[in-house]
Each structure stands twice: as C-alpha cells, then as structure tokens.
Amino acid sequence: MTSLTELVPAPRGVVAGDGEVRLTERSRLYAGPGTEGAGHWLGAVLRQATGLPLREGRGPRDTAGGIGLALDPGLGPEAYRLVSDHDGVLIEGGDAAGAFRGAQTLRQLLGPDAYRRAPLGRDRARTVPHATIEDAPRFRWRGLMLDVARHFMPKEGVLRYLDLMAAHKLNVLHFHLTDDQGWRIEIERYPRLTEVGSWRARTKIGHRASPLWNDTPHGGHYTRDDIQEIVAYAAERHISVVPEIDVPGHSQAAIAAYPELGNTDVVDTASLTVWDTWGINPNVLTPTDTTLRFYEGVLEEVLELFPADATGPRGHSAFVHIGGDECPKDQWRASDTAQKRIAALGLADEDALQSWFTGHFAGWLAERGRRLIGWDEILQGGLPPGAAVSSWRGYGGGIAAARAGHDVVMCPEQHVYLDHRQDAGPEEPVPIGYVRTLEDVYRFEPVPAELTPEEAGRVLGTQANAWSEVTEDQARVDYQVFPRLAALAEVAWSALPAPAERDFADFERRMAAHYRRLDALGVAYRPPTGPLPWQRRPGVLGRPLDGPPPHR
C-alpha cells in the first residue's frame, strides 16, 4: 500500500479516512456504463500483478473490498473522485477519461507491486487506504514528443511509452515521424518514402562535431497496421496521437526518395541520401505545385491513419503537426523556380513564401475538419486563423501567438527539452544543451505572467520534447526522459503554486516512492545520485551550453 502523500502527480484534494480496503479472492470489479474501457484495463493490470480473479461485479458496491467504476458528468472532463471506505473503492469519472485517470491513482495506492506483470506472492498485502480524493487536470494538453525519426523506436517501444504516459496522466503523444535522418510512416502511394527514406548508411555518434561514427545501417518504419495499432492502443488509454510530417525543412529523407521534391535547379538532388549526421540541413522542399500535391497525398493517408475522434481526450486528435522549424532559405534565394513563385504570388520574400506554404496546408486541413499546428517559426510572415503553435524557442513565440488569437502548446527548449543534460558533472552522458535538473523542470511554468487572462486561456498546455540524436535505444531514452517527465506531468496536471513557491522537497519525497514504481516498470531512469557506470558514455562528444538558460 502507498501512502496518500506519495502520489505523483499530486491530486487536488485528499481527505484521509481511518482504515483500509483489502483486495481478496472475493473482491469483484464493476465497470458501469461508459467506463468499460477503464474497467477492462484496470482488471487486466491488477489480475496480472496480484493474481486475484477480480470477477465481474453486479454493481459499483457489489462486495465489501470490491472496486466500482461509474460516471458523474458533473465532475468535468478528465476529472475523477475516488472514495475508499468500508464498502470498497468507488471511482467516479467526469467522463471515460476521468474514470481511467482515477484507475491510475488506484494503481498507485496499491503500491509498487501493482506495476508488475506477475504476482510476487499471495502473502503480499493488497490494500488501499480509506480516503476521498477529488482530482482534475490543470491543462487540457499534457504531452510528450517522441522523436522516432533520428533514431527509430520499434513499435513495442512506442506502446511501452504510451503505458508510461498513461501512468503519469499525460494525454498527448506528439509523434515526430519524419526528418532528414529518416521517414518512419508507410505511405502506400509513395513506397520509396520507406523503401529509400527510412534507412541511412551510417550514423554520427554524439554531437555533429564528434569524429565518431556507427557504420551499421540504421532505420525502420511503421506499417499502416502498426500505426493503427499505436493509435488504438493510445485511445484505450485516453491519449491522442498527433502526427508530425515536417515541411518544408527537415526533409532530406523525402528528397532522397523523390528527388523532384528538392530544389533541382540549385542542387543535384538525385545524389542526395538519407542524412547521417545532425544539425540544420540546407536541403529543403521546392515550393512547386508538384510538392503541394505530393504532400496532400501524404496527408490524405495520414488523416486516414490518425482519425479525428470527437469523443477522444479533449479533441487533440484533430491536430496535425507540420513542423515548419529550421527551414533555411538559401536554396530558395538561389532557385529561379522559387523566385518565380514569390513573384507570381506577389510575396515580399522567402519568409512569406514559407508562410504561403504553411497557409496552404492550414486551409487544406481545415477543409477536412482538421487543425494545423507547427513550431513557432510558422509565425513568420503571418499565420492563418485556427492554426496553433508549439512554442519551442523560449516563451516569445507562444506569447506572440496567444496575443494574435492562436492556441499555444508551451514547450520551450530552455525548460522542457529532455535531451538536454541533467547535470553539469563530467559523468553525464553526451552532454547536450543547458543543465535542466529535476527541480528545474518542476519549477517550469507554462503560462507566462505577462499574458492577460484571455490570452492565458489560449495556452492549451505543455509537453516535454525528447529529441533522439543521442538516444539510440530504449535505455538511453529512458535515462533522458525519466525522472524529469514525472515533474513535467505534475506541472501539467496539478494545481501548483507559482514556481518559487513550489515545495520541491515534498516532490522529492514523493519521488522516492515513485522510483519504486519506475523500477517495477523496468524504466532505466537517471538515479538522483547520478548516472550509473553503464549509463555513462565517456569519450562521446556532446554540445553543452554554458551558463543558466535564458528565461525568455
């Protein structure tokens, strides 16, 4: 049994009772109308962890020591109430997602053994303390971006991360599927995107200035069936998957597969291969009708594979991310084709050309009932109504977007880029970017103080971004993401005070219990005392940035 004061993320309100509910062979599990999915999930994980039968109940209070799930729409989206008393455990959700969030809290209350895939012995106590917990999320968008383009994460790893996200009450997976270093999604009408674009001959080890290479070919992609499985698995956990197809920069893998997509009057695109190093790539898409039709074809299949579900978690499945970041304009300046396009459209410059490109797909998606979201560079040259912004270059882009009437997801690199190093010490593996400790992430505030209440309402929420240039396998991803994702989850879910007033000592105390949950789940997190010997990577060059990160 876990103490009521060891929950992560912290619930809004807890009233402790006197006593405990003990799950036994006689305990039953009842899932009322609208909570069947949460009941199925909860029964599956508790049966494997405890060995108890947890037979189907006839009502929410079927047996003393049983578990009941029900809906109470008055609680609001994703909110829940958990009551544990002499009658058993009753979880009421404001909607199906709320019931599922409450089930996650119940799992925490049962202790770390509830996260195992087989029981450790029938003599183990399986108890829940008597209490009433009232809880609801602060933000409607609570996410994690996984970059599977730089280093491919097999499908099983993505499913595992969806479980880890669900355990932390996160509800958006931002799925970075395409980049210069790899194209990871099957598109039937353009088979070369995966036949050619999903594999590279070698890979830079460490920062792009490193002299080290891995000469083993690297790649992989998700089939259409894989994508549908991932989306369905996420939906069962009330997580929306927002796909990212990066345009017009970060596109060398696509150009390697279909050279006509590049600026053929500037560079010999037929000689390009999938990029094997890191950084900002000069090879960008050519702004022609051929390119527009090609990516419309790509997006038609993307919309089919990632359907917009009006009943899903807070409507996030309507979004499609088009990237839009780090698009050098040098080739467009040198391209006769691009310059003629600028002139024909009456545009001011190359920034306006990218804005036109973005606007085209914003309109195309809107006609199909979907919404465009992109990195904050898409603000350059103007942004069409309805488009949203992922603010990564600090807070500035998000502030500008909110003031212009656009929805915002706050994910500034100086605060929530989890590929950045966690300590300044020499033992930290492949030191990238600024030092961002667990406490730094815990004190991150997604809503800038300078926004008015109306503007602040346009901040949908926040997400952590896990770029994968230097995280080539599951253990490396785990090390960079955890435990800091737990801090981000609490920032996104819980009603915390201002950053300076947050009780980090209490969070550290609760994390001591949470580490045991992560241990049971097999997460190779960074220990609070520093990297273990096998987590270090001596001799691999990183890109550390000196000094504290800028606040704005």
Taking only the tens place, the pLDDT of each residue in 263-309 is 999 999 999 999 999 999 999 999 999 999 999 999 999 999 999 97
Kind of pairing between the strands at 13-22 and 408-410: unpaired
Asked if residue 525 lies in contact with residue 532, where contact means CB atoms within 8 angstroms, the answer is no
Looking at 72, 326, 472, 508, which residue is catalytic? 326
Q: Is 415 exposed, middle or buried (0-12, 13-18, 19+ CB in 10 A)?
A: buried
Measure Cα distances from 123 to 67, 106, 120, 516 in Å.
Answer: 20, 20, 9, 20
Are the C-beta atoms of 222 and 155 separated by less than 8 Å?
Answer: yes
pLDDT tens column, 312-348: 556 788 999 999 999 999 999 999 999 999 999 999 9
Give 136-166 pLDDT, tens digit per residue. Answer: 999 999 999 999 999 999 999 999 999 999 9
Indicate the pTM of the whole model. 0.97
Predicted confidence (pLDDT) per residue in 13-24, tens digit: 999 999 999 999
**552 pLDDT higher than 50:** no
pLDDT in the model for residue 309 = 78
Residue 407 known to be catalytic: no
Q: Could you state, in order of their start, the residue ranges of all structural domains in the chain?
A: 13-135, 141-494
Q: Give catalytic status of residue 469 as yes or no.
A: no
- Domain 13-135 is classified in which CATH homologous superfamily? Chitobiase/beta-hexosaminidase domain 2-like (3.30.379.10)
Of the residues 6, 179, 180, 419, only one is catalytic, namely 179
- The pLDDT-based confidence of 550 (bands split at 50, 70, 90) is low
Distance CA 399, CA 251 (A): 28
Is the confidence at residue 187, as pLDDT, over 60? yes
Q: Give the pLDDT score at 313.
A: 53
SS (H, E, C) 145-194: EEECCCCCCCHHHHHHHHHHHHHCCCCEEEEECEECCEECECCCCCCHHH
Q: What's the rounded Cα separation, in Å, for the pair 174 and 316?
A: 10
**Collapsed DSSP state (helix, strand, coil) of residue 105:** helix
Give 374's pLDDT tier (boundaries 50, 70, 90): very high
Q: How far apart are CA 518 and CA 523, in angstroms?
A: 5
Say whether 326 is catalytic: yes
Considering the domain delimited by 141-494, tell me its CATH architecture: Alpha-Beta Barrel (3.20)
How far apart, in Å, are the Cα atoms of 325 and each of 47, 392, 450, 466?
46, 10, 25, 16
Residue by residue, DSSP assigns 407-464 as -EEE--HHHHBTTS-S-SSTTSSS-EES---HHHHHT--SS-TTS-HHHHTTEEEEEE
Cα 214 from Cα 481, distance rounded (Å): 23
**Which DSSP letter does residue 526 get?**
P
Taken in order 488, 394, 160, 76, is the CA torsion positive or negative? positive
Of residues 130, 218, 221, 250, which has the active-site annotation? 250
Q: Could you check whether the bond before residue 33 is cis, i.e. omega within 30 degrees of 0?
A: no
Task: Select from 15, 19, 124, 10 the least CA-distant residue to 494.
Answer: 10
Lowest pLDDT segment from 63-77, 194-208, 395-409, 434-448: 63-77
